[in-house]
Amino acid sequence: MSDIGFEIDARLKKLVEEMKKKGLRVTIQRLAIASTVFEKIKGHPSFMDVLEEVRKRTPGVSTSTVYNTLQLMEKLGFITSFSYRGETHYDQPHPHVNVVCMDTGKIIDLPEDRDVLQLLEKKGVKVKTVVVYGYCEASGPG
Ligand SMILES: [Zn+2]
């Protein structure tokens, strides 16, 4: 297994511990959903992306089970989400700047850019996520 595989296991392990601590049921379906999200999280998957992938691996999982599990994971601080073009996208929970290309729909992370986050913190804003709309290099002249 790669380093990524190991990282996924560590996050899953932590989530399972947290769920048990809270007296929540750790089901196969919840584990399948969580591992899918952790694997895909860097690509800012939409709810439909997660649902499709989960169903490929674990057929028969209901939409509400996926939705509720994602809600739970967000509540526990393992993921965050933001809305774009009417769809919920899931993301890594540490505050960072996301650039959404309005042409290609691509979502890029700017983790190294602390300036915006520091500015907001100075204003007393507890940052959940920052989404900047623009046009990426690959998009045509707008
Ligand atoms: Zn992001």
Instruction: Please tell me the distance between residue 100's alpha carbon and the centre of ligand 1 in angstroms.
Output: 9
- Residue 23 alpha carbon to ligand 1 centre in Å: 30
Q: How far is the CA of 101 from the centre of ligand 1 (A)?
A: 13
Q: How close is the Cα of 44 to the center of ligand 1, in Å?
A: 6
How far apart are the CA of 96 and the centre of ligand 1, in A? 6
How far apart are the CA of 105 and the centre of ligand 1, in A?
A: 13
At 61-103, the pLDDT tens digits run 999 999 999 999 999 999 999 998 889 999 999 888 999 998 8
CB 96: neighbour CB atoms within 10 A?
A: 19
What are the backbone dihedrals phi and psi of residue 134, each rounded to the nearest 5 degrees, phi first? Answer: -170, -155
Domain segments of the chain as ranges: 3-81, 97-134
Determine the average pLDDT of the residues in 118-124.
91
Q: Which of 27, 7, 39, 40 is nearest to 69 (CA)?
A: 27
Is the pLDDT score of 1 beyond 50? no
Full-model pTM: 0.85
Please state, rounded to an integer, the average pLDDT across all residues of the chain.
89
| Fold observed for domain 3-81 | Arc Repressor Mutant, subunit A (1.10.10)
Dist CA 131 CA 92 (whole Å): 13
User: Residue 4's pLDDT is what?
Assistant: 53
For residue 140, the model assigns a pLDDT of: 67
Q: Residue 37's pLDDT band (boundaries 50, 70, 90)?
A: very high
| Distance of CA 85 from the midpoint of ligand 1 (Å) | 16
pLDDT reported for residue 114: 77
- Ligand 1 centroid to residue 98 C-alpha, Å: 5
Checking if the pLDDT of 111 tops 80, the result is no
Please, are residues 88 and 47 in contact by the beta-carbon 8 Å criterion?
yes
